[in-house]
Amino acid sequence: RYYAERVRQANYNFDESELKPYLSLNSVTNAVFDVSNKLYGLKYVKRDDVEAYHPDVNVYEVRRNKAGADSEEDELVALFLHDNYARAHKSSGAWMSEYRSQKKNLGEGIDGIESVPIVSNNNNFAKGSGSTLLSFDDGVTLFHEMGHGHHGMLSDATYGTLASTSVLRDFVELPSQLMEHWLSEPEVLKEHARHHETGEPVPDDLLQRLKAAQLFNEGFAVVEYTACALFDMAV
């Protein structure tokens, strides 16, 4: 992988570190919330008054306009916890989890709020002393996990055992795989990828070089995961 990156830099004149100053955690979070709003009509209202399990965790009410209602009327869809930073004793990697899944079959006398899902996205980004800067892959991961978050927040099932990600394994990854590709859309990057110090938008030349380099080494990647899949099925 080291040599592959060297070849990519030589052939496409693209170094991911050039993009990093334009991908602060705040900018990428704003981008993913904006895409979420445009795709699903979701609005994220930060709740600083709600205490989470760690000071670094941000809590949001997720709301959207009621169907067929006046545009000023909205409804609570979910509570969303964004836990982005690495810390001691936290599991590694990135994942979506739920503290409460959506369901409709509430027992008699149970408050309807119990049907509202509580969803968290968990990442392990290194917290910066100023702006936390992400690699492009980190940004893709944040978008990927939001796809899982959508799966939980937008669930509309009667039974909790069939809600959210309680589906066939192949389908679990569909919303996340679709969501992660939105970060590379030029419209998203041009609007949200801004220099963390100057606020300048990402240069067109850098975006063009990113686009040109994205398919580099994909042939090897396809053969690699195909070989792993064939091995899994064989054993």
Tens digit of each residue's pLDDT (9 = 90 or more) over 79-138: 999 999 999 999 999 999 999 999 999 988 999 899 999 999 999 999 999 999 999 999
| pLDDT tens digits, 122-175 | 999 999 999 999 999 999 999 999 999 999 999 999 999 999 999 998 899 999
For tokens 């100057």, the residue is: 198
**Catalytic residues, which ones?**
145
In degrees and rounded to multiples of 5, residue 177 shows phi and psi of: -65, -35
Q: Are 78 and 84 in contact (CB under 8 A)?
A: no
User: Confidence band (pLDDT; 50, 70, 90) for 214?
Assistant: confident
Query: Which pLDDT score is estimated for 3?
Result: 79
CB 104 within 8 A of CB 85: no
Q: What's this model's pTM, rounded to 2 decimal places?
A: 0.89
